[in-house]
Structures are given as C-alpha cells and as structure tokens.
Structure 1
C-alpha cells in the first residue's frame, strides 16, 4: 500500500467519476479540525458551521453532476457523545446531497469488515484512514489491489443494507 497525504485524498473528491463510499467504524474521532467544534457543542454553545462549508460544496458539486456519495456509520449503542454531536448536524450533510445510514454495531457481528475506516472511489481505489487511539489521523493508505477493493465493496454494501437512513435513526 502507498501512503498518501490529506491533500491527495482531497483530490479524489474532485476526480472520482461515479461513486464515493465511506465506511466509518469508530465511536469517536478526534481530528484537529473537529476538536474545537465538538468542545463548543459539549459546552452548549452554537457553532457557525462555516468549517463544514467546503465539504458541503464538494458534495453539492458532485451530486449536481450525477455522482453519488454514500456514508455508512457503524455505531455502538448507547451512542457516544461524539456520535450525538455528529447526529445533531448530519441533516446538513444529507441536505447537501450525501446519503448516510447508521448501523448499530450489534447488527454487524457476522459481517467481514476491513480493519480500518475507508473511502472507496469508483470501485478502483480504496483509501484507508489509520487513526490513533484518541481519534487523530495517523496515516492514509491507498490501494488499488482487487482483493482490497472487493473486501471494501462487499463490506460497505452489506452494512448499507442493514442501515437506518439518517433522518430515521433514533439514538439509543
């Protein structure tokens, strides 16, 4: 596998042709971008959400030209405060055009899952996100290996079929 930068990952969002699939399997993340906004939410303060606009613009542009962006979130229940925070604004992601489902972890016990979260672009390139225990991104690994693509596509489609659409998920 080849290591890539965050900037290289961002280029894939401009260059993919049909579909970008994202599987998230952690209950908490702690990226540098998110931390200050999560702290605001925890304190009960309102966030201006300006920091999310570049992502919403990316999604709107992709879906405007017929591309699909789907995100599946495998979550433990009861959900963590982090996931409560994500859920509180997830309607903004779907309003922009992203399709999101939530999958309770208890439903995926017999699903073969890759070891890390990933983005799969056009069933050609998979990019795994490797996280530290506290949730920071440590590295990104890119693969075009057919077995990695097949594992990720099958895992994604299987959990997607078990998911609850974003607007219908009721947190436990």
Structure 2
C-alpha cells in the first residue's frame, strides 16, 4: 500500500530512500525559481548547466554511487516555456551527478493519458516475486 508523505518529512526521503526516487515534472515553470539568484544568472545569459556542486547534486552522487536510482521525466511544451527552458538548463550537472533525466513532449503525454501533476515516488521495496528489471 502506498504511503503518502506529509510536507514535514518529505525532504528526509531524499536521504533515506532504499532503491529509487522517481519524479514526474509536469508544470510549465515554478514561481520559486523566478525568485532565485539562479534564475537571475540564467536570465543574464550565464551557463548554469555546469555549475559547481550543490547539496542536491552531492546527494544524487552519494545515492547513485551506492547503487540507488534517481530518475526524472519532465513534460515539455513545444516550444518550451521560459520556465521549462530554465529547468532544462542545469540538467547536465544533475546528469553528471547520476540523475537519469528524460524529457517528453506534453502533447505525447496528453495523447497517452498520462498524469498532469508533479509527484515523486520513492520505491523502497520490490513487490514480492516481481523481477527486478529496467525497460
């Protein structure tokens, strides 16, 4: 049975998950991004795709080095919104740290009837008897 995580403990799951952390990112942008110094640097034309290490990327590297998986699928408009372009910009740094990031056109997700809200799934235990494989 899935466990729903409340806001007060959400962040701890990135440190304690046992197997996988998987994200669907469906929004066209985030207000919190527009208020960040990172956004201002990106808007000024700086390359934010190869930034020095951050706490997020250091955690990704620790977890993936330990054999865990952190994966993300980002739904992207065609053409991408300004917020999505910003989200795509630092992807090289996250991928270098070990996060498996994929993009999917929103039109394809809509055609397939996929979800349209952001969420994280933390997979800590395989189903009994289920084979462990990647598609």
Distance 1:92 1:65 in 2: 19
Distance 1:96 1:2 in 2: 28
Distance 1:30 1:64 in 2: 32
Report the counterpart of residue 4 of structure 1 in structure 2.
6
TM-score by length of 2: 0.76
Do the aligned residues in 1 keep the contact of 2:17 with 2:124 (CA within 8 Å)?
no
How many pairs were matched up? 123
Matches within 5 A, 1:68-87: 68-87=69-88
Please tell me the root mean square deviation across aligned C-alpha atoms, in Å. 2.7
Q: Which runs of 4+ in 1 moved over 6 A?
A: none
Report the counterpart of residue 29 of structure 2 in structure 1.
28
Query: Can you list the C-alpha shifts for 1:20-62, whole angstroms capped at 9, x where unaligned?
Result: 1000001111226963211221123466946x61000110111
Report the counterpart of residue 38 of structure 1 in structure 2.
39
1:4 offset after TM fit, Å?
A: 2.1
Distance 2:66 2:35 in 1: 29
Paired residue secondary structure (1:101): strand
Do the aligned residues in 1 keep the contact of 2:51 with 2:93 (CA within 8 Å)?
no
Do the aligned residues in 1 keep the contact of 2:21 with 2:123 (CA within 8 Å)?
yes
Do the aligned residues in 2 keep the contact of 1:38 with 1:82 (CA within 8 Å)?
no
Distance 1:38 1:116 in 2: 23
Report the counterpart of residue 13 of structure 1 in structure 2.
14
Structure 2 unmatched ranges of 5 or more: 126-134
Structure 1 unmatched ranges of 5 or more: 125-160, 162-172
- Name the structure with the higher helix share: 1
